[in-house]
Structure 1
Amino acid sequence: MSRPRLGEIAIQVLWNRLLSVLEEQAQTPVRTAFSTAAREAGDISAGVFDTEGRMLAQAVTGTPGHVNSMARSVAHFLAEFPLATLRPGDVLITNDPWKGTGHLFDLTVVTPTFRGGRAVALFACTTHVVDIGGIGQTPEGRQVFHEGLSIPLMHLSREGRMNEDLLRIVRANVREPVQVVGDIYALAACNDRGGARLLAMMEEYGLEDLDGLGTEIVGRSRRAMAEAIGRLPKGGWSASMTIDGMEAPVELAATLTIGEDSIHVDYAGTSGVSPYAIDCPLCYTEACTAFGVECVVAPFVPNNGGTLDAITVTAPPGSIVNAPHPAAVFSRPIIGHMLPDVVYGCLHQALPETVPAEGTSNLWNLGLAAGHGLTGAGGAAWTPFNVTTFHSGGAGARPRQDGLSATPFPSGVRNVPVEVTEAIMPFVVWRKSLRPGSGGPGRQRGGLGQIMEIGSREDAPFGIFARFERVRFPTRGREGGLPGKPGRLGLRSGAVLRSKGFQVVPKGDRLVVEMPGGGGFGDPFARDPALVARDVRYGYLGSEEARSDYGVALAADGSVDQAETARLRARRG
């Protein structure tokens, strides 16, 4: 007997209800997780999948690298554990970088949902845990084996009974067992909540399965993407970017081809794999690339299997964006988060005045730690700790608006309030402020980075797992916009630290982190002088920078000196 076709009103009602199910799913780990990464920064993802493993919808909370790679990971779970072999109460888990979301620190959990004894959907979620053992949160690893505990695709729970052997192994291999195991339980609860709310929705609306709704969601999204792509100019465009890298600068090169109903991005010409942990598995390359394309081409089309199928990605095997096992991949965001900017370099040629200038892109997260062997032999009075606190530099200027300051893109994670970190860790954040003059000059100014100064509350050293970009090669502007100011890592005593690798802050000294600014967009001398005066008044830049970078002279009261400004701009012209 054929299933009656869902009507337009029913589809819209069920779609909205499904989104509310997902938001409730995603809020579960936010409320129950132990680590600040999930609880405060929202570094999680959550989604619902049909029985074929296609993502139907995602929660708003989450990062594109997590969400889009998780969207492909469920197929790997189903290949290993066919749906017919799973039972109510089964929960699956992995942190395989090539089948999950790109590095060992991300745990992905998948749970089937049953109705009437039959699987009707799967829920998946991911979070970044504070530790997974091994060498720690540093790009200094040489193989994935250095980077910590690897969990192959396996059961976290069988028919409601947790895999205590696995949890014992986790506890024995990580520096923060309470936080990590607590987050694993939070992920399992996340999917349980999603499944319970979905079953309530299906009961309310008399749905025996999600097949009809899923087909409509995926099909409509794919058609919407095809229509959006169909309106674009056709052809191929190439762009490249040089970034700091680890042992040597890295070249990221892409060619983007717009077809009739799909877009293809090829990374031929990109640097080969690094001997250090900045390599990026293809799954994460695909995820970040697709997000960059979607933001420009069809930002209002829901992200799901249909949308993602319109974007294909290839990269030479052995390149830094298609790193093979057993390459070290912990710092894969160093590469992945730059890829939307590379894609935008292509799209800017096809769609002028549409994409922003380059932003910091790389997260300037502070991975701080102390403990025996890490920061010295130690003493009984020293408090061992391991924490990740999320922060960011400036985003690139947009064609018609300034760049956002201290805002992560493409990650989207939230800032972790310093008060939260100080409450649970033995250090003080003495300063956290915007970094004046760091935004690239332009008709639209790049977003500002920020400055943080951190010291221990104890008479003890502490360490930082540095993994920062935009120190040697700053963000670039577009259409005459100037670069943002590069980042810098150092000590209050004056020493300059490396931008990557674990380093110790001596006791009595403080860590000073100066985050990069975003690139500017358009000729700086075309910026409205009133906006320049406002930026000086707000402390975003100095009066001398206003004069040299923007050709704007200010009077003693801070107002624009119209005659001198006209003279400066005319002389430059």
Structure 2
Amino acid sequence: MDTITFSVLQSAFKSIADEMNINMFRSAYSAVITEGRDIGAALFNGNGNLIVQGESDLGVFVTMMQYSVRKIVEVYEGNLFEGDVFINNDPFIGGTHFNDVGVIKPVFYKGKRIGFVAIAGHWADVGGSTPGSLNSVAEEHFEEGLRIPPVKIMERGVMAKGVHDIIMSNVRIPWEREGDLSSQISSVAIGERRVIELADKYGVENILEFMEETIEYAKVMLEKEIDKIPDGSYFFEEYMDEESKYCKDPVKIAVKMTVKGNRMEFDFSGSDPQTRSAANGTYSSTVSAVIVTIKSLFPDVPMSYGCFLPISFIIPEGTVVNARPPAAISAMAGTVYEKVIGVSLGALAHACPEKSTGCPHGLINLVMGGVDDKTGEYYVMYLFSEGGFGGRATKDGSSGLVSLFGGGARITPVEVFERKYPILFNQWSLRQDSGGPGRFRGGNGSIKRFVIARGTAKLSALGDREKFPPWGLFGGKPAMPQGLVLNMGTEREVNLTLKASNYLVKEGDEVTVLVAGGGGYGDPLERDYALAEKDFLHGLLSSEHLYQEYGIVIDDQDKVDTAASDRLRAEMREAAE
């Protein structure tokens, strides 16, 4: 295929995924979709291999959905028809946690299957014992909500009423879930229509040829990047804060990354066994986290199945990174997935330090539900965190961003929360001094404080990095840890922790969410004075923090006292020897 046609089709396929996303966030009902854009759309070839994703996707969805589509091909081959639509949220078959529901549609052209279109989105609730379906103390996934393997929700264009009714009878606020599902079905219908239009315009043979070539193109591009990394084995390990109420020991996630020529292997054999809590991952989630990490370091490589081909994996079954059913998994995104990203970044830092960063903050999922006294209606609120990214070899980390795998997700406005739910925000801002000190500091995390305006509710959270904060690189220091506190600074203060489950909050209670910054990069005593002064004037770093961590003195004119700072740094270096 000539390069011009290839480029045109590549842009056209991306536009299809983008249009699917736009349709969903404009028509779904869950605020986390319409405002937070916790969604991802992708197109696949006839075998279920990823062809393209949208520009605003969450990478976690797209890289994992490939396993769902392949399972459909495996199970339903010979039983796939025009008008079929599948639904799936099974973490053990390409899902994430149960809230992330995928809808998949085969695409036929003149009677021949030429591919699939799919879109996933976070439903605010899928049943289970906690409003919002995130349950840190669950021992089995049966406590977390409805597990849906890939099954037809529509067959030959007709809704499968039995499947539909089972789903809607097992979720909170079914009318809202109806809106989300309808939005997804319409999105994949748009995707199907656009692919057929491309086949009409360019010829189906060109479409099929493009699908194969774009996979090969990504593979070759990634192989070239891997070939630049020095051969060798690189090891890194991290710990999750604790397993569960039954075991307070930290949980190890370890990787050995081996580079040989233009191939990489990620071996997770050193990781701990699966837990008796919701903090478990699956094979597909671990693969996805590695791919997302690789893609973040090599952004020019287009995302497709080709990104998987130069990389092999050893992920032993029964470990925390590849748990067996019926393991609970609702905490996956904010715990295991984040830590797999962390260890992958850490291993890559040894191999290519110029491209690496300090550790980013970890995702915090917070859900709250109850009956609003004002309306008498049941509600479920979902809030995710934004924090700091790690410092880099030549730049500071970014502040106030969603998780690394969050890609196109957005921060839901305060006004939306206060309009839809019985809460009022007292604070939502960057968290001063929260980034890890370094020659290039980590970005700042955030702090949210909201009060329960009326009634009572049940609050649950899933997250990590309270005891093991985001680490720094090459002399850079860790960021501030994360946390969740009720009525902070009062006599009624309670450390809820990021494993809170169904905690009863009532009118007047204030919830504080503390999100970490990113880890620092390089020795903080080498921080440029002009950059430090700018940080102080912008309120990102306090004078006390600059003095203690950076050896920088701010004078009474809010300027860096260079002479005093030089003396202080000399003293700090001497004391460290």
User: Could you say which TM-score interval applies, normalised by the shorter chain?
Assistant: over 0.9
Distance 1:551 1:94, change over 3 A: same
Deviation of the 1:72 alpha carbon? 2.4
Contact 2:256–2:267 (Cα < 8 Å) also in 1? yes
Q: Between Structure 1 and Structure 2, how many residues are aligned?
A: 558
Aligned pair 1:445/2:433, yes or no? no
Residue of structure 1 equivalent to 2:494:
495
Residue of structure 1 equivalent to 2:429:
433
Contact 1:115–1:208 (Cα < 8 Å) also in 2? no
Residue of structure 2 equivalent to 1:58:
53
Instruction: Quote the Cα distance in structure 1 between the aligned partners of 2:257 and 2:94.
Output: 25
Contact 1:100–1:108 (Cα < 8 Å) also in 2? no
Instruction: Quote the Cα distance in structure 1 between the aligned partners of 2:316 and 2:205.
Output: 44
RMSD: 1.7
Could you tell me which of 192, 197, 200 is aligned with 2:189?
192
Aligned pair 1:411/2:428, yes or no? no
The alignment partner of 1:469 has SS state of coil
Residue of structure 2 equivalent to 1:338:
339
Contact 1:130–1:176 (Cα < 8 Å) also in 2? no
The alignment partner of 1:98 has SS state of helix
Distance 1:463 1:454, change over 3 A: farther
Could you tell me which of 16, 30, 33 is aligned with 1:38?
33
**Residues 39-188 of structure 1 aligned to structure 2 (within 5 Å):** 39-82=34-77, 84-135=78-129, 136-188=133-185
The alignment partner of 1:501 has SS state of coil
Deviation of the 1:231 alpha carbon? 2.2
Structure 2: gaps of 5 or more residues: none
Q: Match of 1:357, as an amino acid?
A: G
Deviation of the 1:208 alpha carbon? 4.9
Contact 1:437–1:545 (Cα < 8 Å) also in 2? yes
Contact 2:89–2:148 (Cα < 8 Å) also in 1? yes
Residue of structure 2 equivalent to 1:326:
326
Aligned pair 1:221/2:222, yes or no? no
Residue of structure 1 equivalent to 2:11:
16
Instruction: Quote the Cα distance in structure 1 between the aligned partners of 2:375 and 2:295.
Output: 51
Instruction: Quote the Cα distance in structure 1 between the aligned partners of 2:522 and 2:433.
Output: 17
Contact 2:226–2:262 (Cα < 8 Å) also in 1? yes
Instruction: Quote the Cα distance in structure 1 between the aligned partners of 2:495 and 2:16.
Output: 49
The alignment partner of 2:517 has SS state of coil
Could you tell me which of 450, 455, 473 is aligned with 2:451?
455
Deviation of the 1:11 alpha carbon? 1.5
Instruction: Quote the Cα distance in structure 2 between the aligned partners of 1:345 and 1:50.
Output: 34
Contact 1:390–1:414 (Cα < 8 Å) also in 2? no
Residue of structure 1 equivalent to 2:528:
528
Residue of structure 2 equivalent to 1:294:
295
Contact 1:50–1:210 (Cα < 8 Å) also in 2? no
Tell me the TM-score normalized by structure 1.
0.94
Could you tell me which of 241, 259, 265 is aligned with 1:244?
241
Deviation of the 1:463 alpha carbon? 2.8
Deviation of the 1:471 alpha carbon? 0.9
Instruction: Quote the Cα distance in structure 2 between the aligned partners of 1:255 and 1:93.
Output: 35
The alignment partner of 1:85 has SS state of coil
Render the CA deviation track for 1:289-321: whole Å, top value 9, x for unaligned.
11112322x321111111122222222221100
Residue of structure 1 equivalent to 2:360:
359
Instruction: Quote the Cα distance in structure 1 between the aligned partners of 2:168 and 2:95.
Output: 22
Contact 1:91–1:111 (Cα < 8 Å) also in 2? yes
Distance 1:570 1:64, change over 3 A: same
Q: Match of 1:71, as an amino acid?
A: Q
The alignment partner of 1:114 has SS state of strand
Render the CA deviation track for 1:172-203: whole Å, top value 9, x for unaligned.
11112122221111111111111111112222
Range with bigger deviation, 160-169 or 205-214: 205-214
Aligned pair 1:255/2:256, yes or no? yes
Residue of structure 1 equivalent to 2:286:
285
The alignment partner of 1:178 has SS state of helix
Range with bigger deviation, 138-147 or 322-331: 138-147
The alignment partner of 2:396 has SS state of coil
Residue of structure 2 equivalent to 1:375:
none
Instruction: Quote the Cα distance in structure 2 between the aligned partners of 1:490 and 1:525.
Output: 33
The alignment partner of 1:500 has SS state of coil
Q: Match of 2:395, as an amino acid?
A: Q
Percentage identity across paired residues of the two chains: 30
Could you tell me which of 372, 380, 385 is aligned with 1:386?
380
Deviation of the 1:427 alpha carbon? 1.2
Deviation of the 1:332 alpha carbon? 0.9
Q: Match of 1:193, as an amino acid?
A: I
Instruction: Quote the Cα distance in structure 1 between the aligned partners of 2:79 and 2:508.
Output: 59
Deviation of the 1:285 alpha carbon? 0.7
Instruction: Quote the Cα distance in structure 2 between the aligned partners of 1:382 and 1:178.
Output: 15
Q: Match of 2:12, as an amino acid?
A: R
Distance 1:112 1:538, change over 3 A: same
Q: Match of 1:356, as an amino acid?
A: T
Instruction: Quote the Cα distance in structure 2 between the aligned partners of 1:342 and 1:532.
Output: 29
Structure 1: gaps of 5 or more residues: 1-5, 372-377
Instruction: Quote the Cα distance in structure 2 between the aligned partners of 1:497 and 1:92.
Output: 39
Deviation of the 1:61 alpha carbon? 2.2
Instruction: Quote the Cα distance in structure 1 between the aligned partners of 2:531 and 2:194.
Output: 49
